[in-house]
Amino acid sequence: MTTVTEAVKPVLDEDDEDAIDKGDLKKLCASPHLAQRFARLMARAAREVSPGRDWSPEDLRDVLEVAVHGTGQESARVLEGRYFRKRLREQVNLADRYGDSFGVVVITMVNGVSEGVYSSILDAVTERLRRTDMVFLYKRRFALVLPRMRPAALEPLIERVRELIAVGAGDASLERIDSLCYPNDEVEEKSGVLDWAEDQLRDLKLS
């Protein structure tokens, strides 16, 4: 019976084969190209162990993160806005490489919201998110990056967040919510996602 490693050996060079066969962690972690190949091997092996799911490297990362760190972090990660563009580019690259769609949401509050209203809206947003989701903080906006999000699931999520904001902070505190999923029929290239994000944040260059 041909093993998973043997099946991919023809497309690997001799050093790559040696690193994978010996489990050379230093080499695997030093080369993105080799790490990606190894991750695909792991995903393929996971499908043999658990054929009910089409496992991706991102899925394995989530499982391994819980195995190593436990479930202490139950809510979404909250980060400063300056990290948004970097994380967005990472998600676009993952989507292009593995075919997993993701969502981007920008929640804009009205000018002059108080700190208490800001916190209430943040609580309403994070309450509905998964531990793999990311929230980026701006002066009067929250930008969300939602890995492995499908359009059919994004719209109900946005509506629920809108309802929670209305209850916790009032409708008048919210200016608008903009969103997209990538890839889709209208945005098929990474530049389209990045341009869309820049349009939403254009008036926040100094915030």
Q: Checking DSSP bridges between strand 134-137 and strand 141-146, what pairing results, if any?
A: antiparallel
State the average pLDDT over residues 182-187. 79
114 has a pLDDT exceeding 70 = yes
CA 6 to chain CA centroid, Å, is 32
Query: What domains sit in the chain, N to C, each tagged with a CATH number?
Result: 10-69 (no CATH), 77-204 (3.30.70.270)
Q: What's the alpha-carbon Rg for the chain, to the nearest Å?
A: 20
Region of poorest pLDDT, from 73-77, 94-98, 163-167: 73-77
pTM for the structure as a whole = 0.64
Distance CA 118, CA 150 (A): 28
Which pLDDT does position 90 carry in this prediction? 92
Q: Say if CB 181 and CB 103 are below 8 A apart.
A: yes
Which pLDDT does position 80 carry in this prediction? 92
Distance CA 129, CA 61 (A): 18
* Higher pLDDT among residues 124 and 188, named by residue: 124
60 has a pLDDT exceeding 60 = yes
Per-residue pLDDT band at 207 (split at 50, 70, 90): very low
Q: Which span out of 5-19, 34-48, 183-197 was modeled with the highest average pLDDT?
A: 34-48
Which pLDDT does position 167 carry in this prediction? 84
Distance CA 185, CA 182 (A): 9
Region of poorest pLDDT, from 15-24, 133-142, 183-192: 183-192
pLDDT over 70, % of the chain:
86
